[in-house]
Amino acid sequence: MSRKARETRWDNFVTVASEDGFEKGDRIARLIHLLRMFQAAPGGLSTRLIADRLGVSQRSVQRDIGALEFELQVPFYRANGRWVVREEYWLRPIAFSLQEAIGLLLSARLMLRHADKADAHTAAAYEKLAAVLPEPLRQPLANAAFGLSAKPMNPTYSRVFGVLATAWAERRQVDIRYQTAPDKTRRIWPLFLEPGWFGHSCYLLAWDQAARAPRVFKVERILDARLRDERFENPKGFSVDEQLKSAWGIWGSSDPVEADLIFQPDVAARVRETIWHPSQVLEELPGGRLRMTLRIGHWLEIRHWVLGWGGSCEVVRPVELRRAVTDAVTEMARTYGVLAATEFRRLVAEHEELVSGVRTRRAARARRAG
């Protein structure tokens, strides 16, 4: 097989057609079963033995082995007429309690809902975990893995993410080009990768060598990333946990902003039942209202969250956030053809001024006439 073909990443299980007419779900189940068979046979298996056990043709088995090799990067080699999986591929024996296994499944479901791009590596990780889970939980986790691999592909993102992950793990410097200045090359030290719980995004926290300060980059906006041989050590005194401690999403700060929000009774119960941020303090107010006080890295990160509550949330402070929400509400009113409160008050004031002027002129004419 050519080098180009070997480097091609197939990111879902339906790339290789099944001659036996299996539906997608059946094919996934067969690949998982085949992987488990190899795990139980460290000395390897022949295609004839596998075909007999699965009730399929040897040609179909060859295709399934090819799918495992190229889709999940399972490292096979041939020995004494058998296909053998290299020992280092397998997880060391591990036992999960039922609660632990369900935790893994829930994390996979969360990842499936968060990701909007194909992720072959994470899918492969879940496939390996599925092989050691109890039977009732195995298929849901395998389905989550399939869902991740079947999402739309973004080759640039996958390549950039791979470079950043390698650089982070090996503490190597990286040259990147970013969307805001595509012609400029920036030398960075990848310090952390953080998924954003909003916007289906992933963020890189890195040390910018030129700025000599930490910076946040949205991975989806990195146009190119080149791994360098130079290594780095974490900046002295720098802590990822401290950097992100005040962040609502990804923007941390050593000087957090205090936000004060008031929620109306119709949403107060919903607000109470969730810890939205570690710094939150709740205070009951008369009439069933609820006050929330937060200390966050930047007010801009909670703007969309506040707007999501509609008229049931009022910003008291900071003034910048209150103004931003007011402006957004005014724009929405204009979009939907609704007269905004500020515009209404302006028109009323103009009307009152006009009426007052008319009355004044009438009174003056009456006095002259008298």
Pairing status of strand 201-208 against strand 213-218: antiparallel
Indicate the pTM of the whole model: 0.65
Give the single-character DSSP code of 236.
Answer: T
Task: Kindly provide the residue ranges of all beta strands, DSSP E only, lying in the chain, ordered along the sequence.
Answer: 76-79, 82-85, 172-178, 181-196, 201-208, 213-218, 222-231, 257-263, 281-284, 290-296, 313-317
Give me the long-range contacts of 7-10 (CB less than 8 A, separation at least 24): 8/70, 9/70, 9/71, 9/120, 9/158, 10/67, 10/70, 10/71, 10/120
Amino acid 314: pLDDT: 94
Question: Does the pLDDT at position 10 exceed 50?
Answer: no
- Give pLDDT tens digits for 304-356: 999 999 999 999 999 999 999 999 988 888 888 776 666 667 766 777 788 78
Flag the least confident range among 112-126, 214-228, 321-335. Answer: 112-126
Domain ranges of the chain: 3-89, 98-149, 155-237, 257-335, 339-370
Topology (CATH) of 3-89:
Arc Repressor Mutant, subunit A (1.10.10)
At 138, list the tokens: 């195995």
Flag the least confident range among 198-202, 203-207, 259-263, 308-312. Answer: 198-202
CATH value of 257-335 in 2.60.120, 3.30.70, 1.20.120, 2.60.40: 3.30.70
- Give pLDDT tens digits for 343-368: 667 766 777 788 787 778 877 887 77
The single-letter code of the amino acid at 56 is V
Give the single-character DSSP code of 281.
Answer: E
Amino acid 7: pLDDT: 33
Topology (CATH) of 155-237:
SH3 type barrels. (2.30.30)
Q: Looking at per-residue confidence, does 96 or 322 come out higher?
A: 322
Amino acid 235: pLDDT: 85
Amino acid 16: pLDDT: 36
Task: Kindly provide the residue ranges of all beta strands, DSSP E only, lying in 286-345, ordered along the sequence.
Answer: 290-296, 313-317
- Give pLDDT tens digits for 35-81: 878 877 888 999 999 888 888 899 989 999 988 888 767 899 999 99
Amino acid 129: pLDDT: 82
Q: How confident is the model at residue 14 (pLDDT cuts 50, 70, 90)?
A: very low
Residue 177 CB partners (closer than 8 Å, separation 6+)? 183, 184, 185, 186, 222, 223, 224
